[in-house]
Amino acid sequence: MKRREFVIAASAFALLPEAQASDEAMRTAIRAWAGREPEAGVLKIDIAELVENGNAVPVRVAASEPVAGLALFTQLNPEPEVVHVAFGAASARPEFSTRMRLARSQRIVAVAKAADGRCWQAGVDVIVTLAACVEP
């Protein structure tokens, strides 16, 4: 019986120091998507405060008014972008849910873009613990 190979990695991002995104990289990515620096605003970000495993973290982002798009960014993942979402006319709610990866404890930032060009952002801090044991 051939043994299947397993990949050793505590998380999807095996912590490469040279690829650590900074706050600046996140802000650049946000500006690239939003078209400008968004002002602070209100957005609902549903995510566990304490995440048991950063490989698959359920997250929901919702705005309180219809928007053209929503996007999610991270401060300390190797890359800041998570997802950019665009809503069409048949959209019923300005929200989406997904599962994201978090390389470590950090801040995640959601940004909204309205049809009239306004954009705003909100963030939340998440603590990420990793599994304690390492596989053979």
Binding residues (CB under 8 A) for other proteins: these are 1-10, 12-14, 16, 19, 47-48, 50-53, 55-58, 74, 77-79, 81-93, 95-102, 129-136
Based on C-alpha coordinates, what's the Rg of the chain?
Answer: 17
Residue type, 69: G
- Residue 75 CA to residue 110 CA, distance in Å, equals 11
Give 101 or 118: the residue with its C-beta nearer to other proteins.
101
Length of the chain: 136
- Taking the complex as a whole, the smallest distance from the CB of residue 25 to other proteins amounts, in Å, to 13
Give 31 or 39: the residue with its C-beta nearer to other proteins.
31
- Taking the complex as a whole, the smallest distance from the CB of residue 117 to other proteins amounts, in Å, to 19
- Taking the complex as a whole, the smallest distance from the CB of residue 41 to other proteins amounts, in Å, to 21
Residue keyed to tokens 């909100």: 122
Cβ count near 85 (within 10 Å): 17
